[in-house]
Amino acid sequence: MRIGFTGSGIDRADRHRLDESRIAELASSLSARLLRLAALDPELDETGRLAWGSLAEIEDEADLIFLGLAGETPLFAPLRRIEGGQRAWAIFGILGSMAPEDAALWGAARSLIEWHNRHNFCGRCGHSTEVFRAGWGRRCTNCGLDHFPRVDPVVIMIAEHQGRVLLGRQPQYPAGRYSALAGFVEPGESIEEAVARELHEEAGIRVSNVRYVASQPWPFPGQLMIACVAEADSDALIIDRTELDDAKWVDREGVRAALAGEPGAPFLAPPPFAIAHSLLAWWAGEGA
């Protein structure tokens, strides 16, 4: 199964992160490369691949994130300050044409940069934090608490009932778009419990036999998408209109038509880099 934002193929080389002299050595290597970003979005070269520059392009080594090793090549990203308005979603126009390994590598960098910008201060004591672990952590300058990059687990799921799956549309979706329902996993619940709770909250259905299908990191800003399928007891819906514009049941033929982009399809499918697309392709028997 093809899953977006996975398969960077690099060695994250966690073993070097706490070794400041080793990181400095890697950063001063002639082969070291720095990810080129326009605000948070990737710069692409003339072949459509990620553009990389030299480490000389950065002002302060303290602002480097060590992404890992591509073979022998050390890869870094700049730890940018994010200003308002830099999250302009032009990226969604080019993601479909990016090489999968490039999207994965850039996605990791984007998630880390977002995380740093939301953790300049210590949640426990309110004092400023500073980067450590080669960009994979922040430490409080006052109380010494270590902070590690946050990843939010999200369940994204289709419920099945008599050969049809439940899809919903959120208010901000493009016209015609329907996708799998989704929600954040809360403290004190398993993946399976979160799937059942979300489907009941948003669509009023009860489900059983929740099964895991696949997972994906989602860099907007840093979710772990956990794709599941469940069996609905009934197809009677009670839609939570504060969460969803609409929800409906679609059969395999309709899902296949949507994934193929056919004009008469019952909905506009989510893009191929979203795990909802992979999940629907798996269910429709095209991606399993």
**Positions in the binding site for a second copy (CB under 8 A):** 3, 5-6, 8, 12, 14-15, 104-105, 107-109, 111-112, 115, 117-128, 136, 145, 147-153, 184-193, 197, 201, 212, 214-217, 219, 222, 224, 226, 240
Q: Smallest distance from the beta carbon of 249 to a second copy, in angstroms?
A: 23
Comparing CA positions, the residue from 276, 280, 253 lying closest to residue 265 is 253
Q: Closest approach of Cβ 227 to a second copy, in Å? A: 10
What whole-number distance in Å separates Cα of residue 108 and Cα of residue 89?
17
- Smaller CB separation from a second copy, 217 or 254: 217
CB of 122 to a second copy, least distance (A): 7
Which lies closer to a second copy via its Cβ, residue 60 or residue 241? 241
Nearer to a second copy, 136 or 283 (CB): 136
SS3 48: coil
Cα Rg of the chain (Å, integer):
21
Closer CB to a second copy, 23 or 265, in the complex? 23
Of 193 and 246, which CB lies nearer to a second copy in the complex structure?
Answer: 193
* Pairing assessment for the beta strands 37-38 and 41-42 based on DSSP bridges: antiparallel
- Of 73 and 117, nearer to a second copy (C-beta) is 117
Beta carbons of 92 and 173 less than 8 angstroms apart: no
Q: How far is the CB of 150 from a second copy (least distance, A)?
A: 6
User: Dihedral angle at the C-alpha atoms of 41, 276, 272, 286, nearest 10 degrees?
Assistant: 160
**For residue 197, is it left (φ>0), alpha (ψ between -120 and 50) or beta?**
alpha
Q: Between β-strands 181-184 and 33-35, what pairing exists: parallel, antiparallel or unpaired?
A: unpaired
Return the closest-CA partner of residue 165 out of 37, 280, 1: 280
How far is residue 190 from each of residues 183, 221, 225, measured CA to CA in Å?
Answer: 13, 22, 14
Residue among 121 and 173 whose Cβ is closer to a second copy:
121
User: How far is residue 260's CA from residue 265's CA, in Å, rounded to a whole number?
Assistant: 9
Q: How far is the CB of 130 from a second copy (least distance, A)?
A: 13
Strands 52-53 and 64-70: unpaired
Q: With residue 252 as reference, give the H or E element that holds it.
A: helix 252-259
Residue carrying structure tokens 């619940």: 189
Contact 110, 43 (CB under 8 A): no
Least distance to a second copy from the beta carbon of 256, Å?
25
Count of all residues that appear for the chain in the document? 288
Nearer to a second copy, 168 or 254 (CB): 168
- Smallest separation (angstroms) from a second copy to the CB of 210: 10
